[in-house]
Chains A and B, each alone.
Chain A
């Protein structure tokens, strides 16, 4: 069964450093998402991406964040100048279609980011 993959599974970085989280969505999916989940809290939407541009972004997704689809398979989330409060599990998700149907979003296993 096709699945979303993410690397690394765990990233430790120092405050102020840049990190890139990588995702490989399901191959025939067209819509890509990033969510985050701070330990013990709810899953929060960050950004959605379609046709090589951002479709939507939340208030969390400020200038510190950027996304990119550098080739036909990878989808990346870059966090510039990380802060302690960026420590969270980051989930990538993909879907075939965005709305008007039951096509659900498939989530990857997540990258646990720890900022020290």
Chain B
């Protein structure tokens, strides 16, 4: 089975840095994604990790440790518009396999509130 855990809610101050953690237990692993979702809108892609380490993309960075089943999303220089839910999603199945699992399994999301 698949299990993905992330905190339900977090609050941070404008201009600060916040780290959102995600732990997962899945049958097979073929990448971890972070999506941002504003209320009532579609998830939008933020980052992707398939190998251990840190991926940086502007104000957003994502880290993965496959041995620990752990990832985090780091948001720097927080802005009010960053208030949203952040979804951790795991793609399972064998990499580079045509028979791999294509579906994403999502966590429940972390609702981030950025305050002045």
Contact = CB atoms under 8 A, between A and B. Distances in A.
Interface of A: 31, 33, 35, 41-45, 48, 50, 55-56, 58, 91, 95, 98-100, 102, 104-110
Interface of B: 30-31, 33, 35, 41-45, 48, 50, 87, 89, 91, 93-97, 100-109
Contact of B45 (A42, A55, A104): A104
Nearest to A47: B103
B97 A100 contact: yes
Given A99-B95, A102-B48, A110-B42, A43 B87 contact: yes
22 contacts: A35-B104, A42-B87, A42-B108, A55-B102, A56-B103, A58-B103, A91-B42, A91-B43, A95-B102, A98-B100, A99-B93, A99-B94, A99-B97, A99-B102, A100-B96, A100-B97, A100-B100, A105-B45, A107-B42, A107-B43, A107-B44, A110-B41
B102 A31 contact: yes
Nearest to B44: A107
A42 B109 contact: yes
